[in-house]
Structure 1
């Protein structure tokens, strides 16, 4: 029989991490503390200490939770698409949908925390960097698979294309408050689509616009 206390504890843990990722997407990680989160969620600080004994442990848990959200909502659905160019395009579409869905008020957790920890060695820096490397490895790997599948022209610079897709995805978060929101999303979507159609051996497998 499942212990009800364990279930309640896990629900509380997940609720705290959901809230922390949302807050960090706007404020970054450094400003978050157990006191700040307990006040936001109206839960006891002592109860939070049962899960995370110190700030660094909490920060690492938040990074992992954000990484898992990214995998669950962007990566896994894309990997259900047919291998090759369709899968690569789905990854970018899912990313834009995640940003635009309003789950995170700052749109992207990792964009908010990268600058905080890029020159601060330590476990939190390492966890953020590892998540970034894993994402770029996946993106580059999907470009390579699309070439191997014959969906992208032989000789396509896979590293360059992966970099461009990443830059155009990140630009949405950076520019959405400077440009009209819908315009930023439309520009990013069209730029990646145009680039992929130009390199595709059969552009008809991609949307027209």
Structure 2
């Protein structure tokens, strides 16, 4: 086997582990993610998984990064081509609804980041810090689009971008709960109704 092929195969194996890890963590939480379970699910030895991730925290961090990449691809990349400001913000919110309502291929248990926030909010350490960093990054992206919308006159001039981003995150955490815990069929439409009020033009 050539070194190049060996590296490529190692990369593919790592991607398989992470893909399965994201799926498991969305259902079981990051604490429910174990090297033994992943090895069994993928038909690998524990040593094979440990060869890519030296510890459970390292695996958790890598899964978070992979999940963030998937989330940005599913939600943000769909909205990014839209005009900056309110059009892009509304497109991102619609893609976010679709992600929570229908994305079960990558996240069979719903939003991994909502689960991780509840799991780690009272803890300390690098996993908790990464969860917080990813949430702050997303909130910053939302606030930037709100700020652009205000500058363009698409939202009232006295709109507080940080406040709107805060409310958007709360609204979508509620949507995840309504879908996952209550299987509420009207949850998506209720969210759209709330968005229409929150993002009403001045």
TM over 0.5: yes
Which residue of 2 is the match for residue 65 of structure 1?
66
The gaps in structure 1 that reach 5 residues or longer are 202-209
CA RMSD of aligned residues (A): 1.7
Are 1:76 and 2:77 counterparts? yes
Are 1:120 and 2:123 counterparts? yes
Which residue of 2 is the match for residue 142 of structure 1?
145
**Deviation of the 1:10 alpha carbon:** 1.2
Query: Which of 132-141 and 38-47 deviates more?
Result: 38-47
Are 1:106 and 2:109 counterparts? yes
Does the C-alpha gap of structure 1 residues 180 and 24 become closer, same or farther in structure 2, counting only changes over 3 Å? Answer: closer
Write the deviation string for residues 12-56 of structure 1: whole angstroms up to 9, x where unpaired. Answer: 111111111111111111121110111112222211111111111
Does the C-alpha gap of structure 1 residues 26 and 154 become closer, same or farther in structure 2, counting only changes over 3 Å? Answer: same
Does the C-alpha gap of structure 1 residues 117 and 72 become closer, same or farther in structure 2, counting only changes over 3 Å? Answer: same
The gaps in structure 2 that reach 5 residues or longer are none
What is the alpha-carbon distance in structure 2 between the residues aligned to residue 86 and residue 180 of structure 1?
29
**Deviation of the 1:182 alpha carbon:** 3.1
| Equivalent residues, number | 199
What is the alpha-carbon distance in structure 2 between the residues aligned to residue 115 and residue 178 of structure 1?
14
The two structures have a TM-score, normalised by structure 2, of 0.91
What is the alpha-carbon distance in structure 2 between the residues aligned to residue 131 and residue 69 of structure 1?
13
Within 5 Å, give how 1:111-190 maps onto structure 2.
111-190=114-193
**Deviation of the 1:180 alpha carbon:** 4.2
Write the deviation string for residues 162-190 of structure 1: whole angstroms up to 9, x where unpaired. Answer: 22221111111111145444311111122
The two structures have a TM-score, normalised by structure 1, of 0.88
Which residue of 1 is the match for residue 48 of structure 2?
47
What is the alpha-carbon distance in structure 2 between the residues aligned to residue 174 and residue 83 of structure 1?
29
What is the alpha-carbon distance in structure 1 between the residues aligned to residue 162 and residue 156 of structure 2?
14
